[in-house]
């Protein structure tokens, strides 16, 4: 894995040495960031990286100028690799790393982000609930982006009242680029 663009372009990232983590392919990451670059300015964005693994997506965002990234993963092994990657890039001041269950974190957090990356294990039991859980948690405000990867076979509950939806297929993977539609009267706004 490597950083594709920005301040850390070309820098290599460590990955988890076993198959417990499925990193985003360079091709999918390039497409995700090409789409986002045409829609947003990365400068000063606040990012949430759920199921962060070794941090490939969040660290790519830091390389492109985001203000900070909050990384969440349940497993210690990928977080150890993530912390090594953060240290090797020297961006500790821009990163917060937490070991927590993503659904627990979403229920207990109290802030909104500009961009949320979601790269869950494809066999995650409640994978289809993630877009609504993110929206309902208050993790997004109007215009925030949620980028989610999932297996082509996964049944994902998408509410067109909550998100504008863009789907991009990559072989067995589908990437969703969701733009939050949060009315001013939403209780978490």
Residue 154: the pLDDT is 85
Rounded to whole angstroms, the Cα distance separating 162 from 182 reads: 7
- Regarding beta strands 140-151 and 163-170, do their DSSP bridges make them parallel or antiparallel, or are they unpaired? unpaired
pTM: 0.93
Per-residue pLDDT of the chain (189 residues; tens, 9 = 90+): 899 999 999 999 998 876 555 566 678 888 899 999 999 999 999 999 999 999 999 999 999 999 999 999 999 999 999 999 999 999 999 999 999 999 999 999 989 999 999 999 878 888 999 999 999 999 999 999 999 998 888 889 899 999 999 999 888 889 999 999 987 765 554
Residue 117: the pLDDT is 97
**Cα atoms in the 13 Å half-sphere on the side-chain side of 182:** 24
Are 60 and 35 in contact, with CB atoms under 8 Å apart?
Answer: no
> CB neighbours of 93 closer than 8 A, spacing ≥ 6?
none
Strand order in the sheet with 46-50: 95-99, 68-73, 46-50, 113-118, 140-151, 173-180, 163-170
Residue 186: the pLDDT is 57
**CATH class of segment(s) 26-163+172-180:** alpha beta
């Amino acid at each position: 894995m490597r950083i594709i663009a920005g301040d850390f372009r070309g820098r290599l990232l460590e990955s988890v040495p076993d198959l417990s983590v499925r990193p985003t392919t360079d091709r999918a990451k390039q497409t995700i960031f090409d789409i986002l670059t045409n829609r947003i300015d990365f400068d000063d964005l606040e990012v949430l990286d759920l199921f962060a693994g070794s941090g490939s997506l969040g660290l790519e965002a830091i390389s492109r100028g985001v203000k900070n990234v909050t990384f969440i993963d349940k497993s210690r092994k990928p977080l150890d690799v993530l912390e090594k990657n953060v240290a090797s890039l020297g961006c500790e001041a821009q990163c917060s790393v937490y070991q927590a269950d993503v659904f627990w974190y979403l229920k207990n957090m109290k802030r909104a982000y500009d961009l949320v990356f979601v790269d869950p294990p494809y066999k995650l039991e409640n994978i289809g609930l993630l877009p609504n859980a993110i929206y309902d948690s208050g993790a997004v405000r109007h215009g925030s982006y949620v980028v989610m990867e999932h297996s082509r076979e996964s049944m994902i509950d998408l509410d067109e009242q909550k998100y504008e939806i863009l789907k991009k297929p990559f072989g067995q993977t589908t990437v969703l680029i969701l733009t939050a539609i949060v009315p001013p009267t939403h209780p978490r706004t």
